[in-house]
């Protein structure tokens, strides 16, 4: 009988009003902490489960106590929903960050391949005055190559012939040049000079191929008697491999412009005192 009496005493204490108030207050404070501090849905579910387990042991709950537990459970459900939303947002941000890193890596890889291949970059051949003459009337010009595009061109091969690039161009012998890699900010000479006629327009044709591009260029040079200077104009066409023949794409064109000459920017001669 003694154990049963002790058990009933403990049951009365457990179901007492003071314990009910204390537990409700504790669970209410715990639910408020959960809604502001818990960021894991698992933690919120564990707290909710604990409250539900305690409720099953309260066999003599009054209306106000039941209402209090409903409030506590409602707050815990809100905390759980917020935790789930926070978890989903964290996963979304993590995926976005991973996607951003993957995109950056992809772009860097593609840019590296483009740099390695010289993608979408072409050679342009233009005349340039000689350093030793510095005279517009000299009429003898260097041919220099520069880059159209933002990547270095590699394995450049140039074929040069007299006259425009047309059907007959490919039936004539040409001069061939192999160039070292040229960066977009650099120029390279072909190692030859040309001396066009000062009476008529002189036309030169070029085909230029690099590691990944192919282009044709028609270059014309004339002497402008009115301005007393040499001028040139050019048309550069990009040829791209396609299954069916299409006209070449005009890549760049310049109307008559004066031929550039070197500019003296310094001298090793000491000025007279």
Mean pLDDT across the stretch 32-51? 71
Same domain, 143 and 91: no
Q: Is residue 108 part of a domain?
A: yes
Residue 171 domain-assigned?
A: yes
Distance CA 65, CA 17 (A): 9
187 pLDDT above the threshold of 70: yes
Instruction: Tell whether the model's pLDDT for residue 15 goes beyond 90.
Output: no
Contacts of residue 249, Cβ cutoff 8 Å, sequence gap at least 6: 237, 238, 240
Question: What pLDDT sits at residue 273?
Answer: 46
Q: What is the mean pLDDT of residues 226-239?
A: 92
Claim to verify: residue 150 and residue 231 sit in the same structural domain: yes
128 shares its domain with 75: no
In this structure, the answer to whether residues 46 and 152 fall within a common structural domain is no
Residue 74 shares a structural domain with residue 192: no
Last residue of a domain, one of 114, 140, 159: 114
The mean pLDDT of 4-31, rounded to a whole number, is 71
Same domain, 130 and 250: yes
SS (HEC) of 67-106:
HHHHHHHHHHHHHHHHHHHHHHHHHHHHHHHHHHHHHHHH
Question: Which of 47-51, 101-105, 219-223 shows the lowest per-residue confidence on average (mean pLDDT)?
Answer: 47-51
Angle at 192 between CA 188 and CA 198, to 5 degrees: 115
Q: What is the pTM of this model?
A: 0.64
Where residue 150 falls among pLDDT bands split at 50, 70, 90? very high
Residue 269: inside a domain: no
- Give the pLDDT of residue 271: 47
pLDDT digits (tens, 9 = 90+) for 63-93: 777 777 777 777 777 777 887 888 888 889 9
Are residues 20 and 109 located together in one domain of the fold?
yes
| Greatest mean pLDDT range, 103-112, 215-224, 254-263 | 215-224
pLDDT band at 121 (very low <50, low <70, confident <90, very high): very high
Looking at the fold, whether 131 and 75 belong to one and the same domain comes out as no
If asked whether residues 102 and 129 sit together in one domain, one would say no
Q: Which two tokens stand for residue 168?
A: 């007959």
Tokens of 179: 């160039």
What's the domain count of the chain? 2
- Residue 41's pLDDT is 65
147 shares its domain with 240: yes
Residue 36 lies in a domain: yes
State the average pLDDT over residues 255-272: 71
Q: Give the confidence band of 25 by pLDDT, cuts at 50, 70, 90.
A: confident
Sheet order of strands, 156-162 included: 175-179, 156-162, 202-209, 214-224, 229-239, 249-258
Based on the fold, state whether residues 238 and 151 are members of the same structural domain.
Answer: yes
Mind giving me the DSSP string for 238-251?
Answer: EE---SS--PPEEE
- Final residue of a structural domain among 69, 85, 114: 114
Q: Quote helix, strand, coil % in the chain, to nearest 5.
A: 40, 30, 30
Question: What is the pLDDT at residue 205?
Answer: 96
State the Cα–Cα distance between residues 200 and 223, nearest whole angstrom. 8
Can you tell me the distance from the alpha carbon of 115 to that of 111, in angstroms, rounded to the nearest whole number? 6
Q: In this structure, is residue 156 part of a structural domain?
A: yes
Q: Is residue 266 part of a domain?
A: no
Shared-domain flag, residues 71 and 142: no
- Residue numbers of the domain that contains 224: 122-258
């Amino acid at each position: 009988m003694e154990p049963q009496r002790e058990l009933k005493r403990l049951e009365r204490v457990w179901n007492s009003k003071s314990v009910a108030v204390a537990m409700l207050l504790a669970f209410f404070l715990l639910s408020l902490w959960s809604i502001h501090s818990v960021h894991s849905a698992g933690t919120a579910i564990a707290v909710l489960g604990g409250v539900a387990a305690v409720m099953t042991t309260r066999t003599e709950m009054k209306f106000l106590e039941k209402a209090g537990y409903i409030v506590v459970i409602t707050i815990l459900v809100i905390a759980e929903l917020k935790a789930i939303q926070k978890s989903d947002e964290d996963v979304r941000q993590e995926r976005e960050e991973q996607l951003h890193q993957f995109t950056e890596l992809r772009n860097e890889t593609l840019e590296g391949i483009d740099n390695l291949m010289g993608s979408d970059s072409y050679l342009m051949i233009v005349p340039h005055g000689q350093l030793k003459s510095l005279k517009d009337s000299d009429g003898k010009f260097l041919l220099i190559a520069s880059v159209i595009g933002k990547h270095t061109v590699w394995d450049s091969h140039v074929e040069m012939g007299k006259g425009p690039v047309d059907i007959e161009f490919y039936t004539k012998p040409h001069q061939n040049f192999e160039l070292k890699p040229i960066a977009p900010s650099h120029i390279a000479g072909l190692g030859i000079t040309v001396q066009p006629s000062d009476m008529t327009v002189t036309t030169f044709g070029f085909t230029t191929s690099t590691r990944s591009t192919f282009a044709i260029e028609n270059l014309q040079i004339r002497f402008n008697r009115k301005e007393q200077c040499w001028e040139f104009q050019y048309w550069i066409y990009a040829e791209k491999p396609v299954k069916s023949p299409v006209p070449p794409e005009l890549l760049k064109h310049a109307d008559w412009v004066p031929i550039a000459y070197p500019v003296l920017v310094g001298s090793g001669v000491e000025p007279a005192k």
